[in-house]
Structure 1
Amino acid sequence: MQRRTFIQNTGLLTAALSATGPGLLATSQPETVAKNKLPRWKGFNLLDFFSPDPSKSRRATEEDHLKWMQDWGFDFVRLPMAYPYYLSFDRSRNITPDEVYKIDQQAVDRIDRLVSLAHKHNLHVSLNLHRAPGYCINAGFNEPYNLWTDQAALDAFCFHWAMWAKRYKNVSSQKISFDLLNEPSMRADMNDQLSHRSSVPGATYRRVAQAASNAIRKENPKHLIIADGNDTGSSVIPEITDLDIAQSCRGYTPGIISHYKAPWANKDPDHLPEPKWPGQVGDKYLSKAMLETFYQPWIELVNKGVGVHCGECGCWNKTPHDVFLAWFGDVLDILSSHQIGFALWEFIGDFGILDSGRTDVAYEDWHGHKLDRKLLDLIRKA
């Protein structure tokens, strides 16, 4: 499966490819490494509940997959969920605001079962609303309103988080946490993938995050809450640093490496400069210094006492494998040196360690799957 149609990487590509210079902020003087408030979790995104339509879901994660993760030393899974997945409504037409509240208990039970299996194998579970009422980074499901501008959408958003918080109120905070919203941005038309996108205004982001966190903490005062960075996960959110909410960055910079030839992220995917790492790509020189500059605001956030985790990272399967590993090694080195954990997108699939479909990998047979041993070894030692 392609790394989700919802990665519209215009912002990431622009930010990454415009970064120049030697990364003086990160390297001009010795740096004192602060202790990240979050554990340095390492693991994977699992896409069982990623589709708004349960009939189009990915093949379910098996218990053996979770056992392999545990055996390989991983301790974290993130579950990006589309809220319509666990609703009961007439899917032959667009959803109505009233139907956003119609919970399908059988679908919720399926989510519960995966959470329980993950806990059985000592994996922390981060529940994430990939699609929330009124917002998703990708189109493809008609939202009846806009989370950033409509109170009805915010009320529904808080309802969903209150439900999940109550459901897991008796589960240890060491085992489960709540990631509010996947990759926020301000889109002019919530149902038009190509409509103009910009940053969510800081005050607006704060209002939404605070409302949802209050709904969660009413049920679950001690559980961790995480907010994905602004600008589709790429930018720190200074407006919420006083709210006791951790923040989640991304490991997709520069997009010309992570999403090389990806048709959902490039206007002309067949005519891109050959990726190199490090090296001159188009009119930019790509190097670890670029990454140090990009991640410096996140490192400063850790130093200010705000917990940081990288909720998604990885590379689509068209980037040459040696380039991918060289780049990703630098990404993981920067994150790990500042005690920032990460979750690969995904476990099985185009971005994963199993069955990625790369044409330049000598795969190892692993219980009927094709294992990218070099990638596995890289992330295990990070």
Structure 2
Amino acid sequence: MQRRTFIKNTGIAAGALTATGSAAFAVSQPTVTRPNTLPKWKGFNLLDFFSPDPTRGRRKTEEEQLKWMQDWGFDFVRLPMAYPFYLKFDRSRNITPGEVYQIDEQAVERIDTMVTMAHKYKLHVSLNLHRAPGYCVNAGFHEPYNLWTDQQALDAFCFHWNMWAKRYKNVSSDKISFDLLNEPSMRQDMNDQHSARSTVPGELYRKLAVAASAAIRKENPNHLIIADGNDTGTSVIPEITDLNIGQSCRGYHPGIISHYKAPWANKDPENLPEPKWPGQVGDKYLSRAMLETFYQPWIDLVNKGVGVHCGECGCWNKTPHDVFLAWFTDVLDILTSHQIGFALWEFIGDFGVLDSKRADVAYEDWHGHKLDRKLLNLLMKY
């Protein structure tokens, strides 16, 4: 794969940017007028470093599992990292701002080992701060400040990205990229999972992107940088399209399909309308046309020369399997027909191709794991 370069552009009309769509968008898919400047990677999120507490993390990804990915035709892994995972501090109390800089070299080396193994099997690695100093889409760890409003938090954010950029200073962007911040949003209370959310003001997102990209490209001007969309990954970020940064969308729309009964995403998960695809669910009719409208701003972004990738997609295990596969077929078809690659959340676990614990799947035994062959075949098709 040859190194891709991003084409700068001067912005996108505000009317083309609504995450929910508008009358300005036709539901039919337009012709791609420019190639996506990000490769059409496809693969998985690996959650080895996802937990802020390394003693409570997922079972580690084994080397043979990376080989399975390669054998099945995948070429990408995203590593969502919680920054406390690789810090040294007293975990019996809340972290202090000063402790955010206390790197645990042994923990960092565990991440290095994963990166090296993935490269052995020709998998591009996207490093992502799923939990950054002062922000995470998930609560569960008490943040000492707010990334969007406190300069102290932004300084720490840049420190962490500079550290990672320095470690991989001489690694080609064919092999590694830096996904700045998982699913940004403004949250009323940074430590309350269900507190009110809103859009990150464009100037604040741009401030973060400028500062972090400078910290990264200080080490290597060719480092490849990606920014997750605003509104928890759903909305294009027009304010940064001139910064030589790719953007990452999500494959979770609508949430009533992808996160049916998920307690972290719904205040009343047991009282939700049963998902259908296509069909009437609650007060909305869900269909492929809805998805085409939702992804139109991302397709427009590709056509304007900004690289786009779908860093996360998939469906929690409470959605009926046939509904999930029907919906996901439309999601993947729309993305890949516009040269946009994707990464399933996750490889092993509730969203994964292995050990998803669905009640309505006839699993295949795979080296001691339960394989969802229908889902794997769908992913391989695209």
Q: What TM-score, normalized to structure 1?
A: 0.93
Q: Give the corresponding residue for 1:185.
A: 185
Which amino acid in structure 2 is aligned with residue 354 of structure 1? L
Q: Could you list the per-position Cα deviations for residues 318-345 of structure 1 after superposition, in whole angstroms to 9, with x for gaps in the alignment?
A: 1111110000000000000000000000
Cα distance in 1 for partners of 2:360, 2:30 equals 39
CA distance in 2, matches of 1:331, 1:347: 18
Counterpart amino acid of 2:313? C
Aligned CA distance change for structure 1 residues 73 and 189 (closer, same or farther; 3 Å): same
Aligned mates of 1:169, 1:46 — CA distance in 2: 23
Shift of 1:262: 1.2
Corresponding residue for 1:157?
157
Distance in 1 (CA, whole Å) between partners of 2:228 and 2:55 is 28
Percent identity over paired residues: 81
**Cα distance in 1 between the residues matched to 2:284 and 2:146:** 37
TM-fit CA distance, 1:188: 1.6
Measure how far apart 1:170 and its partner are.
Answer: 1.1
Q: TM-score normalised to the size of structure 2?
A: 0.93
The residue aligned with 1:270 is: 270
Structure-2 separation of matches of 1:349 and 1:183 = 20
Q: Provide the residue aligned with 1:209 in structure 2.
A: 209
- Structure 2 equivalent of residue 136 of structure 1: 136
The answer for unaligned runs of 5 or more in structure 1 is 1-14
**Which residue number in structure 1 is paired with residue 113 of structure 2?**
113
Distance 1:217 1:26 in 2: 39
In 2, Cα distance between equivalents of 1:31 and 1:245: 23
Residue-by-residue CA offset, 1:64-94 (whole Å, 9 max, x unaligned): 1100000000000000000000000111111
SS state of the match for residue 273, structure 1? coil
Q: CA deviation at 1:117?
A: 0.3
* 2:195 paired with 1:195: yes
CA change 1:32–1:308 in 2 (3 A) is closer
2:325 is paired with a residue whose SS is: helix
Q: How does 1:232-381 map to 2 (within 5 A)?
A: 232-381=232-381
The match for 1:82 is 82
Q: CA deviation at 1:173?
A: 1.3
Aligned to 1:147: 147
Q: Deviations over 1:270-298 (max 9, x none)?
A: 22212111111112110000000000000
- Paired residues, what number? 365
> 1:268 Cα shift?
2.1
> Please, which runs of 5 or more residues in structure 2 have no aligned partner?
1-17
* Contact 1:20 1:284 survives alignment (8 Å): no
Specify the alignment match of 1:225 in structure 2. 225
**Displacement, 1:220?**
1.6
Cα distance, 1:225 vs structure 2: 0.1
Structure-2 residue corresponding to 1:8: none
How big is the alpha-carbon RMSD for the aligned residues of Structure 1 and Structure 2? 1.5
Superposed, which structure 2 residues align to 1:60-99 within 5 Å? 60-99=60-99
> Shift in Å at residue 24 of structure 1?
4.7
Corresponding residue SS for 1:332: helix
1:4 is matched with: none
Q: Look up the equivalent residue of 1:310 and give its one-letter code.
A: C
Paired residue for 1:37? 37
- Deviation at residue 142 of structure 1 after TM alignment: 1.0
Is the 1:20–1:285 contact (alpha carbons within 8 Å) kept by the matching residues of 2? no
Alignment partners' CA distance in 2, 1:24 and 1:97:
45
Q: Is residue 48–residue 58 contact of structure 1 (8 Å, CA) maintained in 2?
A: yes
Distance 1:26 1:34 in 2: 20
| Deviation (angstroms), 1:19 | 6.4
1:266 Cα deviation (Å)?
Answer: 1.8
Instruction: Quote how far apart the aligned CAs of 1:31 are.
Output: 2.8
Q: Please tell me whether the aligned partners of residues 261 and 272 of structure 1 are also in contact (alpha carbons under 8 angstroms).
A: yes
Deviations 1:185-223 (A, max 9, x none): 011221122222100000000001110000000002101
Q: Secondary structure at the match of 1:280?
A: strand
- Partner of 1:88, secondary structure, is coil
Shift in Å, 1:171: 1.2
CA distance in 2, matches of 1:134, 1:374: 39
Q: How far apart, CA to CA, are the structure 2 residues paired with 1:79 and 1:91?
A: 23
